[in-house]
Amino acid sequence: MNFKCKIWLYNNGKAFGEGPYDILKRINRLKSLNKAAAEIHMSYSQAWNLINTMEKRLNIKLIRRKTGGNSGGGSYLTPEAKDLMLKYGNFIGEADEILNNLFNKHFG
């Protein structure tokens, strides 16, 4: 037996969680919202809406968008997004450890 727990940050609704964390990691790696969305079989418009919703609920900008040109366009994480990801990743890591210990105490 095992367990599964999803942790979301709320601020006027779901503001940040595992899925948004994943897409921001992909944007950071690929430098493109479109490519990040395609990797997880999400439409560009769905990804755009997700980013916009998170930005409104968190009251921070998560990505900078650069329009095309000779060097091409792209999407880049803001320092606030990188800070949020660091904090969320650390929080989830600690929560996972605590929850696994608690699960083992009661079910192990």
Task: In whole angstroms, give the CA distance from residue 91 to residue 94.
Answer: 5
Supply the pLDDT for residue 65. Answer: 87
pTM: 0.88
Give 16-64 pLDDT, tens digit per residue.
Answer: 999 999 999 999 999 999 999 999 999 999 999 999 999 999 999 999 9
What the block records as the tokens of 25 is 């990691």
| pLDDT (tens digit per residue) in 64-101 | 988 776 667 799 999 999 999 999 999 999 999 999 99
Q: Tell me which residue has tokens 């439409």.
A: 43
Which ranges in the chain belong to alpha helices (H)? Answer: 18-30, 33-39, 44-58, 79-107
Q: What is the pLDDT of residue 83?
A: 98
Place of tokens 């479109």: 34
**SS3 (DSSP) at 83:** helix
Domains in the chain: ranges and CATH: 14-90 (1.10.10.10)
